[in-house]
Amino acid sequence: MLDYRTPASVAAAHPVVEGGGFVLGLGGGPRRLHPTIVNLNVEPFENVDIVGDAHRLPLPDNAVDAVHCEAVFEHLRDPEDAAAEMFRVMKPGALAFVCTPFMQAFHAYPSHFQNFTLMGHYRLFERAGFRVVEHGVCVGPSVALSDLVATYITHYSPRVVRWLLRAAWSVLSRVLVRPLDRSLARRDNAHLMASTTYALIENLVTRAGEADPPQFSSVRRWRQPSAAVAGRRRRVTLLRGRCTTPGPTSTPASAFATPPQEGNAGFESASGLANYWATQGTAVRRQRRDQARQRARRRNLTLR
């Protein structure tokens, strides 16, 4: 499947994903976006290092250098609580890239409570204390339309013609509709029916009324990044060629001095923490498997 993310959103995610240190993939997995990302998910999928809830992160304060969070906030029961938790665990000045659906059909992982407009996304993070460095459209309106029509055909079209409609729409949307986002998603009004929007946010305690007022009549897709962000981007670009070995380096051991759970040894580095949580994930998976087996055994006994 072709990737129709806007260049602005890809550029905004870059300093977060490749910046080094302890990068938390909130709601991440089963895919791992970068070898150094530590994935946290409520389900023990493959490549999940920490099994935990975004509403109550099992991490100490000021431990995280950056957060990458894609397509997760729509699934959270209390998104305000999760944003506050993100703020708590991030170091001052740390960046987070959050991308969340706006025009998407219901999809449960395991639940789906809300979608966010660009304005709603902005307000969510600003109220949690973040400074919104920039925000805009991640995936544009043509992809939104293509996916919504596909969902409509799948669920509401007459059964007899469903497969035909699906095949026809799949070809048509791939050839004619989705590619339109190459230009439409860059327009100022693309947020009106964008599939997903993104925000690059910085952990900076803002006093009420201090943050930049959002310009929603004609939303700016690309804001001039602050000097700090621009500097970080330049450094990341310079370091890019060297960023291939797994294992973050810049997080001091002191960040993990307070173990998040009992019986947890001190951590030398973020990769130490990742290994610890990987073991935890395995233990949780094993426990769930055993419980499922016991339930199955009980069911068989009852049937006999």
Ligand X SMILES: C[S@@+](CC[C@H](N)C(=O)[O-])C[C@H]1O[C@@H](n2cnc3c(N)ncnc32)[C@H](O)[C@@H]1O
Could you say whether residue 220 binds ligand X (CB under 6 A)?
A: no
Exactly one of 7, 35, 93, 109 binds ligand X (CB under 6 A); which one?
109
Contact assessment for residue 228 and residue 19, using Cβ atoms and an 8 Å cutoff: no
Instruction: Give the shortest CB-45-to-ligand X separation in angstroms.
Output: 6
Nearer to ligand X, 54 or 255 (CB): 54
Name the 3-class secondary structure at 247: coil
Size of the residue set binding ligand X (CB under 6 A): 15
Residues 217, 215: Cα–Cα separation, whole Å: 6
Residue 99: name the closest of 1, 195, 20, 202 by CA: 195
Residue 8 binds ligand X (CB under 6 A): no
CB atoms within 10 A of CB 28: 25
Q: Which stretch binds ligand X (CB under 6 A): 48-56, 89-97, 164-172, 185-193?
A: 48-56
Query: Looking at 51-59, 186-194, 204-212, 288-296, which segment touches ligand X (CB under 6 A)?
Result: 51-59
Structure tokens at 166: 């699906």
What residues between 247 and 276 interact with ligand X by CB under 6 A?
none
Q: Residue 72, interface with ligand X (CB under 6 A)?
A: yes
Q: What are phi and psi of 229, to 5 degrees?
A: -70, -45
H helix and E strand count, the chain? 8, 7
If the CB atoms of residues 67 and 76 are measured against ligand X, the closer one turns out to be 76
E strand or H helix that includes residue 64: strand 64-70
Q: Are strands 64-70 and 37-41 parallel, antiparallel or unpaired?
A: unpaired
**Are 195 and 139 within 8 A, CB to CB?**
yes
Region of 71-79, 83-91, 148-156, 287-295 interacting with ligand X (CB under 6 A): 71-79
- Candidate list 19, 20, 21, 28; residue touching ligand X; CB under 6 A: 28
Minimum CB separation of residue 100 from ligand X in Å reads 10
Residues in contact with ligand X by the rule CB under 6 A? 27-28, 31, 41-43, 53-55, 70-72, 75-76, 109
